[in-house]
Amino acid sequence: MGRTNTKNTNTNTNNIVVNVPGQQGLTNISDQLHKLADLRDKGILTESEFNAQKAKLLS
């Protein structure tokens, strides 16, 4: 069988989901923040959507 993608990024601007199975360490949070920032920089997320998702990750 082929490899499955373990990270899922849903870019719906109302629901951003970055799923990383297993332990949620600081590196994973950092990676997720970088992905969210990239979506913001590309105009997919607004600044307020980015800040809301960042707050969820950091809480």
Would you mind telling me the total number of residues written for the chain in this entry? 59
Residues in CB range of 16: below 8 A, 6 or more apart: 9, 10, 36, 39, 45, 49, 53
Q: Which pLDDT tens digit goes with each residue over 1-54?
A: 555 444 445 545 566 666 555 555 667 899 999 999 999 999 999 999 999 999
Looking at residue 21, what is its pLDDT? 54
Looking at residue 59, what is its pLDDT? Answer: 87
pTM of the predicted protein model? 0.57
- Domain positions in the chain are 26-59
